[in-house]
Structure 1
Amino acid sequence: MTGFKDVVGRKDLVSYIQKAVTQKQISHAYILNGERGSGKKMFAQLFAMTLQCERGGAEPCNECHSCRQALSGNHPDIIRVVHEKTNTISVEEVRVQINNDIMIRPYNGKYKIYIVPDADMMTVQAQNALLKTIEEPPEYAVIFLLTENAESLLPTILSRCVMLKIKNVKDALIKKYLMEQMQIPDYKADVCTAFAQGNMGRAIMLATSEHFNEIKEETLQMMKYIKDMELPELLKALKSLSSYKVEVDDILDLISVWYRDVLLYKATKDINGVIFSDQMKYIKESANTSSYEGIETILKALEKAKTRLKANVNFELVMELLLLTIKEN
């Protein structure tokens, strides 16, 4: 990603940033709010590069000394705040990396820019320390707070920052990007798009992940034959799935999409909206053997399984009950 022209969707956000840069209406602090994989780091990087670009346009030129430094991750005036603990940004880290550093003028850029990933992990003390800087920043300072949950920031922080919400990308645009830019086959692009739920970063990750492909193949293999499995075979399949405990949400989502396809085909006999279009033989078989009530029971069981797993109920127990419900319906 080397410029705003490469951004898929989110034209409103691109337009806002470019207008702010060209009209020199730059705020001292921004919150980029969006789920993981939504593009927060990308937007912060492009915004920072555009601000520092020596040509002063609405896009980073990628050729000047400043842009080359930023692309290599070595720009002295684009500072990324890091934290030692995985789930906390401490007051000391804010003081050392931002507050004590921000009064030193930029080395060679127009601005001194701080990018704070996981800003919602700042402790209350860290946020209060940052607040003093945001209230009276030097004219050259710009701070980007990247967060998945802006509501967790103090109201005093929120009120002093410009909020940039990163919205989901339309499915059609994600699928087009995967097929045209990454040469992903249409049936695989359909699956990745359905799972991404508007999150371009997640779609790209799924499309390029061999691990996700393994989980998908394992889960679909079980869905195809689960009605004919005897209990020992079912327990064997469960044991195999146990190796993917960390990705249990992906497994449950795959099963949900499978039965969404089964329900769609059963109700309409239309194959155009089916996500797992390469599995039509088995989708049709499942639609013929399951009643509407049975499919509804399975979908409810999937939601119940998700709730139980979030409550730390035993994985094997939850999955065994779910698989038996699927087999019986």
Structure 2
Amino acid sequence: MGSFKDVVGHKDIINYIRNAVSEDKVSHAYILNGERGSGKKMLANLFASTLQCEKGGPDPCNECHSCKQAESGNHPDIIHVTHEKPNTISVEDVRTQVNNDIMIKPYQGPYKIYIISEADLMTPQAQNALLKTIEEPPEYAVIFLLTENAQMLLPTITSRCVMLKLRNIKDTLIKKYLMETVKVPDYKADMCTAFAQGNMGRAIMLANSEHFNEIREEAVQLLKYIDEMDLNEVVKAIKRISAYKLEINDYLDIIMIWYRDVLIYKATQDVTKVVFKDQLSCIKARARKSSYEGIEKILESLEKAKSRLKANVNFDLVMELLLLTIKEN
């Protein structure tokens, strides 16, 4: 499990948690909001372990029976709420795992803790069911809602929770961690840090990914030659992209970073902020060809593509719309 000392970045949140524990000012509900890989789950697990730790310190001791149970995922009073459907947390999930369980007192710890990952997937009905619990929780209950987009939660829920927003981590800290802890060489740490855009989880995943260079190369080839592609070639490109369905967010992020580079260079002519430094001539050429409005359209269409894929819209159709938008702009 480790301790808060092992966490890179997020110092404000860690100080808040430590103070809340040591001053006995723990709230009954928290929202940890941050993008995928930002460390929400790690912070929630550390917070939960600290609250249940038998030594009662500002960090989990990792030695007591409670900490060992938390580490193995077997603590009876730390409940991870699950859901059957991939993109929905239903009212039934909330009722059976939270509402119907929360009135049973903790088995051994001072708290009964519920961690709801992907809480922004709760249906409005599920949120309303949870609201009743958040409004009148038993004194021993603590609920963590982990979200990528807290705006998907009802205002009635957000107003009753303490919001902890996970900020981007400094590139220097990420690079240092990758080199010292993940043991990657300097040049690779640089590349992974640039693509991670302040997200430690993504940086670690990229550093360990055998696929990343391949995905990056595939995306770069597409972006370099998409202007000359006819519709038949676009369809073939989509077939190649479908091989990366499981990593499609990373693929789309690479395209997004490419167009951010184009936008930054077009606006500032500053090459020091460009991530794709090895593709500088292509970035400059694209900046000359595309208008500001066109680049904004592409960046918006990338966000739309992510949302549509998350909502299980047909993969080929989403990618075709995206690639045609890129070609047109």
Distance in 1 between residues matched to 2:156 and 2:324, nearest whole Å: 48
Distance in 2 between residues matched to 1:155 and 1:291, nearest whole Å: 42
Deviation, structure 1 residue 95? 1.6
Distance in 1 between residues matched to 2:30 and 2:301, nearest whole Å: 38
Q: What per-residue deviation string (whole Å, max 9, x for no partner) do you get for residues 2-59 of structure 1?
A: 1101111110100000111111111111111112221111111000000011111111
Question: Residues 260 and 131 (structure 1 numbering): CA distance in 2 closer, same or farther, change over 3 Å?
Answer: closer
Letter of the 1:250 partner, please give it. Answer: D
Distance in 1 between residues matched to 2:232 and 2:178, nearest whole Å: 36
Distance in 1 between residues matched to 2:148 and 2:19, nearest whole Å: 25
Deviation, structure 1 residue 91? 1.9
Question: Residues 323 and 121 (structure 1 numbering): CA distance in 2 closer, same or farther, change over 3 Å?
Answer: closer
Distance in 2 between residues matched to 1:166 and 1:315, nearest whole Å: 30
- TM-score using structure 1 length: 0.80
Q: What per-residue deviation string (whole Å, max 9, x for no partner) do you get for residues 186-235 of structure 1?
A: 332233222222221122222222222211133445678x59x9879x98
Report how many aligned residue pairs link the two structures.
312
Deviation, structure 1 residue 314? 6.7
Letter of the 2:70 partner, please give it. Answer: A
Partner of 2:259: 256
Distance in 1 between residues matched to 2:129 and 2:58, nearest whole Å: 33
| Aligned residue runs from structure 1 range 54-65, under 5 A | 54-65=54-65
Work out whether residues 219 and 255 of structure 2, in 8 Å CA contact, stay in contact via their aligned partners in 1. no
Partner of 1:146: 146
The alignment-based identity, stated in percent, is 59
Distance in 2 between residues matched to 1:223 and 1:153, nearest whole Å: 36
Deviation, structure 1 residue 146? 1.2
Query: C-alpha root-mean-square deviation of aligned residues, in Å?
Result: 3.4
Give the match's secondary structure for 2:211.
helix
Give the match's secondary structure for 1:70.
helix
Distance in 1 between residues matched to 2:210 and 2:155, nearest whole Å: 42
Distance in 1 between residues matched to 2:55 and 2:322, nearest whole Å: 59
Question: Residues 34 and 255 (structure 1 numbering): CA distance in 2 closer, same or farther, change over 3 Å?
Answer: closer
Partner of 2:206: 206
| Aligned residue runs from structure 1 range 120-139, under 5 A | 120-139=120-139
Partner of 1:243: 240
Distance in 2 between residues matched to 1:303 and 1:239, nearest whole Å: 26
Partner of 1:157: 157
Partner of 2:72: 72
| Aligned residue runs from structure 1 range 4-15, under 5 A | 4-15=4-15
Distance in 1 between residues matched to 2:287 and 2:296, nearest whole Å: 17
Work out whether residues 31 and 161 of structure 1, in 8 Å CA contact, stay in contact via their aligned partners in 2. yes
Question: Residues 47 and 307 (structure 1 numbering): CA distance in 2 closer, same or farther, change over 3 Å?
Answer: closer
Deviation, structure 1 residue 292? 6.3
Deviation, structure 1 residue 73? 0.6
Larger radius of gyration: 1
- TM-score using structure 2 length: 0.80
Distance in 2 between residues matched to 1:11 and 1:118, nearest whole Å: 23
Pick which of 177-186 and 163-172 moved more. 177-186
Work out whether residues 261 and 275 of structure 1, in 8 Å CA contact, stay in contact via their aligned partners in 2. no
Deviation, structure 1 residue 318? 5.7
Work out whether residues 192 and 206 of structure 1, in 8 Å CA contact, stay in contact via their aligned partners in 2. yes
Letter of the 1:253 partner, please give it. Answer: M
Work out whether residues 89 and 122 of structure 1, in 8 Å CA contact, stay in contact via their aligned partners in 2. yes
Distance in 1 between residues matched to 2:94 and 2:228, nearest whole Å: 58
Question: Residues 5 and 55 (structure 1 numbering): CA distance in 2 closer, same or farther, change over 3 Å?
Answer: same
Return structure 1 stretches of 4+ with deviation > 6 angstroms. Answer: 229-232, 234-238, 260-264, 311-314
Give the match's secondary structure for 1:164.
strand
Letter of the 1:69 partner, please give it. Answer: Q
Question: Residues 185 and 273 (structure 1 numbering): CA distance in 2 closer, same or farther, change over 3 Å?
Answer: farther
Work out whether residues 120 and 152 of structure 1, in 8 Å CA contact, stay in contact via their aligned partners in 2. yes
Give the match's secondary structure for 1:210.
coil
| Aligned residue runs from structure 1 range 44-59, under 5 A | 44-59=44-59
Distance in 2 between residues matched to 1:317 and 1:121, nearest whole Å: 25
Partner of 2:36: 36
Give the match's secondary structure for 1:142.
strand
Partner of 1:218: 218
Work out whether residues 41 and 146 of structure 1, in 8 Å CA contact, stay in contact via their aligned partners in 2. yes
Distance in 2 between residues matched to 1:53 and 1:103, nearest whole Å: 22
Deviation, structure 1 residue 169? 1.1
